[in-house]
Chain A
């Protein structure tokens, strides 16, 4: 009897919490699927009369160029920062030199700084090299500030591979690059998945660098969405549909590759 009561309380709490987390999703989807005539703040919580796509079409027409910017930006910056991170992680775990741990810690600090503290010089720098306002400037920015995280994940992964492997390969005549190419790189595929998913998600979702460094033509979707939401002209229902479109790619990644996503999260938090 007592067990029955505690189990009931358990499920009430779990379902209650789930309702809280799903509430925004409910509003997002019901609003998105309403027809333009049905949209009204006073009936915000009502279900739509059918599955109308007006809002999604309107939002997609507005955001399509920005979704495409986000995609190019995210793919380019993810690939570059993952590859560099994998090399750094290899060197910092298997070719340690005097001061390499300190160097690594100094790199890690770059992961935690509030980017406001480098933003003014960054803008000046991008203006000086002619990349201010463009998508490439933003790619470069994401590659560089992504390095601490990608290096961290790879370094911690390579550290779990025994040094015997490296020493044996050495005796067989393999050099630094050979060991990387034929031993480390194939072993690190799971880490690549974690890093790529992590970088993809954080770059797709990023806003501060994007809003500061790019012009309207190159706005990624987060900036364009925020601009929609800030304008008085675009209706809130279209904003909601736009929010859904902007969230969709990373949500799909989460749904299908959630395990790896979680591992990236943990890598950033559970050290020491």
Chain B
């Protein structure tokens, strides 16, 4: 009787949170879908059903095509950069250098900072070159080192402006990838490595054949976290470029959505962009969540 009452109380205790999530996540997504199928422009909602018109228009829109291409380039470069840098730093730290804790903290501190702060600082480091006489930021360093061929227009360069955003993004997130890998490496039992050593494996062979294969789940986690961060990246791009660079050279869907909905007041179109971003994130996240749920049930 008592337990039964407690069971009801348990459900009553979490129901406010469950209701809040049901409304603010699921009902709101449904609401956005409805808006994306409407012709809502301007401050007053207008849910006249227009089918997929907003989506077909978007995919024909040159700006949105640039956005999709940019997201693709950004995601690939960002993932590769973070994984490579993160793994390399983790292995270096695993060799137990002197001052290991100091290095680790230096690599990881950008995680504690807002993307806006990162963006404001990197905006000046990546100040685009207009002429060789008026250089600043990293371009100035290149110039002073006699490396003028490296001087760049960064995020304003026409074809690969988005690639410049990868640098601060990697600056911010690669330490996190390092921490993931380091935890993974340290989790491997020392006996395994010792056994390989006894069998005559060199240190580099141990990393290649013993450590690396055991880091697969860590890599998967990192890809999920970094991947969904890059698909929805917004603040960093806004802080560096304000409105997406020159000719949308560094524009991304999340930025496009925000300006379309909240500046141009084209809510239906903004909603359609939001649903497209959500779809790409869901494709990545839902299998991961289901996998996590299953492996917990097995335990």
- Interface class of chain B by DSSP: helix
Chain B nearest CB, measured from A122 CB (Å) = 6
Q: Beyond A44-B137, A122-B28, is A177–B103 a contact (Cβ under 8 Å)?
A: no
Contact residue among A120, A207, A230, A250 (Cβ-Cβ distance under 8 Å from B113): A250
Compute how far the CA of A246 lies from the CA of B118 in the bound complex, rounded to whole angstroms: 11
Q: For residue B290, which residues in chain A have a CB less than 8 angstroms away from its CB?
A: 105
Binary contact readout A179-212 vs B (1 if CB under 8 angstroms, 0 otherwise): 0000000000000000000000100111110001
Q: CB within 8 Å of A: which of B207-240?
A: 217-218, 221-222, 224-225, 228, 231-232, 234-235, 238-239
Report yes or no: A251 in contact with B289, Cβ–Cβ below 8 A.
no
Q: How large is the interface on B (under 10, 10 to 19, 20 to 34, 35 or more residues)?
A: 35 or more
Q: Complex Cα distance A115/B135, Å?
A: 38
> What's the dominant secondary structure at chain A's contact region?
helix
Known contacts A117-B277, A145-B24; is-contact A87 B31 (Cβ 8 Å): no
Contact of B180 among A109, A230, A269 (CB under 8 A): A269
The residues in A between 87 and 120 inclusive whose CB is less than 8 angstroms from any CB of B are 87-88, 91-92, 95, 97, 101-103, 105-110, 112-120
Q: How far is it, in angstroms, between the C-alpha of A212 and the C-alpha of B234 when the chains are bound?
A: 13
Which of B2, B32, B217 is in CB contact (< 8 Å) with A117?
B32
Which of B51-59, B157-165, B291-299 contacts the other chain?
B291-299
- Do residues B114 and A207 form an inter-chain contact, with CB atoms below 8 A? yes
**How far apart are the CA atoms of A106 and B18 in the complex, in Å?**
9
In the assembled complex, the CB of A90 is this many whole angstroms from the nearest CB of chain B, namely: 8
Give the tally of cross-chain contacts (CB within 8 A). Answer: 265
What is the CB-to-nearest-CB distance from B49 to chain A, in angstroms, rounded to a whole number?
Answer: 17
Contacts of B68 on A, CB cut-off 8 Å? none
Rounded to whole angstroms, the CA-CA distance of A84 and B19 in the bound complex is 13
Chain A residues whose CB sits within 8 angstroms of the CB of B111 once the complex forms: 254, 261, 265
| CB contact between B235 and one of A88, A118, A208 (< 8 Å): that residue | A208
B10 at the A interface (CB under 8 A): yes
List CB contacts (< 8 Å) of A225-272 with chain B: 225-226, 229-230, 236, 239-240, 242-243, 246-247, 250-251, 253-255, 258, 261-262, 265-266, 268-272
